[in-house]
């Protein structure tokens, strides 16, 4: 057996693989596979259709039994345009913190789990621990869907180690996002009525989204456990036009819904679609037939909610020592595990406040807290 590697050392290795979602994560997966292999643990690779990305699944302890799944994603968000004090892909440690891209979101959890694998192997586990590491979480929880579909055994429960300060999170919102491309008809702006102004029609949509957002804010549905306590609609990117003296024939709009876990976003999407098909497009085509509006989905992941009295929540509370549970606004893979019938809780080291930012860091005491959590889990699974 190889000498046990500490969690910060393992984190140093993982951060060194610049696994931004747009590039392959296979070097990291190969490293983890090799590390586990050296410890005598075989793992299952679940690749994407291009073969350039892969999930990894492994079981420690008795095989073929439900057990507890520890889940984390291996991809990180880009560093482009961010002002980092040091190389984001080389861990720098000072003041009790480890800095680097992915330290908190969420290689810190993955590293701690991996560093404790030798302890898992030495323990007489009666219930297995499954490791599930995914790709492309940051771009819409893509990879984990394949991983869940390929699971050789359905875990009895799952802990997703996204940063929660090691306190159990029992719900988060779901998200849908769309790109809308408006094709108008160009002409000289002095002849504006002869053209179809793509920016105008995209703006009609923006105004409609604003009204939807206001309705959700005032009429709900509400869940006081969330901040804000209702679903939200937001237009984030708007482009269109090339010169003031040309009626623009193209505009594009990215918008999203972040919905409460038990609030179905489908009627909202249908309402936007109805406005496009029944009002805007006929209006545009009355002037120029080739015009129209095309919408494509960018991201779609479900909301997440596990009953506060579920055994997985009780387990996470016991292991973390945290009494309170909370609901958060950001998304994770938890909703997909839960949807697959695997009771799930989100509980991991570090604070989401540091995620996706320049000089992202994880505090060493959070890694220590995660180690304590995992050691308690190991002991419990020997009972
Ligand atoms: Zn994350």
What pLDDT score was predicted for residue 4? 85
CA–CA gap between residue 79 and residue 105 (Å, rounded)? 13
What pLDDT score was predicted for residue 233? 97
Indicate if 174-301 has the same CATH topology as 7-172+303-381.
no
pLDDT in tens, 162-208: 999 999 999 999 999 999 999 999 999 999 999 999 999 999 999 99
Catalytic center residues: 75, 137
pLDDT in tens, 320-343: 999 889 999 889 999 999 999 999
**What are the residue boundaries of the structural domains of the chain, listed by start?**
7-172+303-381, 174-301
Q: What is the pLDDT averaged over residues 128-143?
A: 96
What pLDDT score was predicted for residue 329? 85
Its pTM stands at: 0.91
The CA 249 to ligand 1 mean position distance, Å, reads 38
Say which residues have a Cβ less than 8 Å from residue 327's Cβ, sequence separation at least 6.
169, 170, 171, 172, 223, 225, 226
What pLDDT score was predicted for residue 152? 95
The CA 102 to ligand 1 mean position distance, Å, reads 8
pLDDT at 1 over 60: no
The CA 271 to ligand 1 mean position distance, Å, reads 31
DSSP alpha helices (H): ranges in the chain?
7-15, 26-38, 108-115, 117-122, 143-150, 198-219, 266-274, 281-285, 311-320, 334-339, 364-381
The CA 136 to ligand 1 mean position distance, Å, reads 10
| Main-chain phi, psi angles of 367, to 5 degrees | -65, -40
The CA 302 to ligand 1 mean position distance, Å, reads 15
Edge-to-edge strands, sheet with 361-363: 92-94, 97-99, 361-363
Q: Which CATH architecture group holds 174-301? A: 2-Layer Sandwich (3.30)
Kindly list the protein residues that place their beta carbon closer than 5 angstroms to ligand 1, a single-atom ion: 105-106, 162
Instruction: Please give the mean pLDDT across all residues of the chain.
Output: 96
Q: Which CATH architecture group holds 7-172+303-381? A: 3-Layer(aba) Sandwich (3.40)
Q: What share of the chain is helix, strand, coil (3-state, %, to 5)?
A: 35, 25, 40
pLDDT at 157 over 60: yes
Provide the 10 A C-beta neighbour count for residue 324: 7
The CA 106 to ligand 1 mean position distance, Å, reads 5
CA–CA gap between residue 153 and residue 56 (Å, rounded)? 14
């Amino acid at each position: 057996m190889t000498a046990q590697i500490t969690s910060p050392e393992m984190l140093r290795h993982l951060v060194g693989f610049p696994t931004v979602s747009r590039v392959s994560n296979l070097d990291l997966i190969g490293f983890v596979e090799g590390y586990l292999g050296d410890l005598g643990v075989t793992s299952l690779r679940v690749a994407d259709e291009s073969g350039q990305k892969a999930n990894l699944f492994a079981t420690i302890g008795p095989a073929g039994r439900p057990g507890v799944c520890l889940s984390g994603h291996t991809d990180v968000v880009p560093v482009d345009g961010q002002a980092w004090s040091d190389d984001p892909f080389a861990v720098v440690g000072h003041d009790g913190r480890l800095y680097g891209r992915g330290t908190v979101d969420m290689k810190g959890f993955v590293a701690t789990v991996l560093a404790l694998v030798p302890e898992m192997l030495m323990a007489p586990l009666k219930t297995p621990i499954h490791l599930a590491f995914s790709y492309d979480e940051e771009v819409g929880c893509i990879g984990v869907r394949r991983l869940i579909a390929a699971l050789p055994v359905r875990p009895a429960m799952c802990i997703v180690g996204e940063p929660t300060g090691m306190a159990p999170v029992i719900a988060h919102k779901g998200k849908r996002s769309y790109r809308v491309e408006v094709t108008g008809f160009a002409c000289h702006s002095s002849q504006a009525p002869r053209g179809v102004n793509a920016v105008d029609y995209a703006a009609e949509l923006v105004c409609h989204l604003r009204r939807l957002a206001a309705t959700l804010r005032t009429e709900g549905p509400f869940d006081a456990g969330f901040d804000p306590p209702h679903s939200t609609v937001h237009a984030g990117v708007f482009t269109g036009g090339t010169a003031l003296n040309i009626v623009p024939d193209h505009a594009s709009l990215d918008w999203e819904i972040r919905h409460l876990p038990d609030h179905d976003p489908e009627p909202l999407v249908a309402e936007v679609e109805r406005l496009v098909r029944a009002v805007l497009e006929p209006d545009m085509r009355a002037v120029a037939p080739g015009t129209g509006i095309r919408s494509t989905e960018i991201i779609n992941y479900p909301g997440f909610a596990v009953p506060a009295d579920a055994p997985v929540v009780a387990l996470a509370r016991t292991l973390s020592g945290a009494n309170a549970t909370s609901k958060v606004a950001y998304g994770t893979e938890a909703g997909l595990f839960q949807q697959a019938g695997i009771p799930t809780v989100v509980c991991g080291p570090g604070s989401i406040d540091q995620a996706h930012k320049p000089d992202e860091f994880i505090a060493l005491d959070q890694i220590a807290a995660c180690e304590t959590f995992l050691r308690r889990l190991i002991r419990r699974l020997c009972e």
